[in-house]
Amino acid sequence: MELFIDTAEIEEIKSLNVTGLIDGVTTNPSLIAKSGRNILQTIEEICNEVSGPVIAEVTATDFDNMILEGRKLSSIAQNVAIKVPLTFDGLRACKVFSDDGIMVNVTLCFSSAQALLAAKAGASFISPFIGRLDDIGSNGLNLISEITEIYSIYDFDTKVLAASIRSVQDIIDSAKMGADVATIPPKFLKAMYNHPLTDKGLADFLADWKKTGQTIL
């Protein structure tokens, strides 16, 4: 499973990218606004740091301006993927970008029917929002399972990118359901490697080692 970091904070990305565990970065208008920085400069800096897909979202809602914004964003670097909403115009734009060889992430997916259309439009990534579905009493993980089943039957190349992740368990469950990618807040990556029993075990080993009086170096 690939892990994308969901942030527009360049220093945070740098601090995590040194692990070699980051496969890409997702951004959205809210994250750009939170960073307080210019979107074009921010995306360029992220692309210089990360070799995998860097997903940048259009803010236009009509087809013509989605195309204009998407082309401007994609000109920043070859690893930019354009994010478009799962609307009629968004699907139209997805098909145009896909036909031009530009990676596309179709976002705000809440049904398998939507996901099927995105795949037919040539989306590189589809983003089912599992947390937001859970919020209204639906089962977001079931949606991932349905989408992966459909994509497998018809051999679509579109990757399922689990979004709206609310916990580490969501990441694990999405992986079990066959999601290709999870986009996660930086705090969840840190939570994935932290465990109290790991800390305790390490402390015990070090205490025993200290008693030997030895050093390795």
Query: Each residue of 130-182: pLDDT tens digit?
Result: 999 999 999 999 999 999 999 999 999 999 999 999 999 999 999 999 999 99
**Which residues contact residue 192 at a Cβ distance below 8 angstroms, ignoring those fewer than 6 apart?**
168, 171
Half-sphere exposure of 63 (CA within 13 A, CB side): 8
In percent, how much of the chain has pLDDT > 90? 100
Task: Name the packing angle between helices 140-154 and 168-176 (round to 10°).
Answer: 30
Q: Which of 14, 72, 83, 190 is catalytic?
A: 83
Half-sphere exposure of 190 (CA within 13 A, CB side): 7
Distances (CA, A) of 27 to 42, 103, 137, 152, 180: 10, 15, 26, 28, 18
Residue 4: predicted pLDDT: 98
- In whole angstroms, what is the distance from residue 110 CA to residue 26 CA? 18
What are the structure tokens assigned to 74, written together? 């994609």
Mean pLDDT of 8-36: 96
Taken in order of first residue, the domains within the chain and their CATH numbers are 2-212 (3.20.20.70)
Terminal alpha carbon distance of the chain: 37
> Quick count: other Cβ atoms within 10 Å of Cβ 135?
12
| Predicted TM-score (pTM) of this structure | 0.95
Distances (CA, A) of 25 to 65, 79, 83, 112, 133: 24, 10, 12, 24, 23
**Amino acid sitting at position 21:** L
- Catalytic site includes residue 83: yes
Distances (CA, A) of 158 to 18, 21, 170, 197: 28, 22, 21, 38
Average pLDDT, the chain: 97
Q: What is the CA radius of gyration of the chain?
A: 20
Residue 158: predicted pLDDT: 98
pLDDT band at 188 (very low <50, low <70, confident <90, very high): very high
Residue 44: predicted pLDDT: 98
* pLDDT per position as a tens digit, 37-88: 999 999 999 999 999 999 999 999 999 999 999 999 999 999 999 999 999 9
Mean pLDDT of 170-197: 96
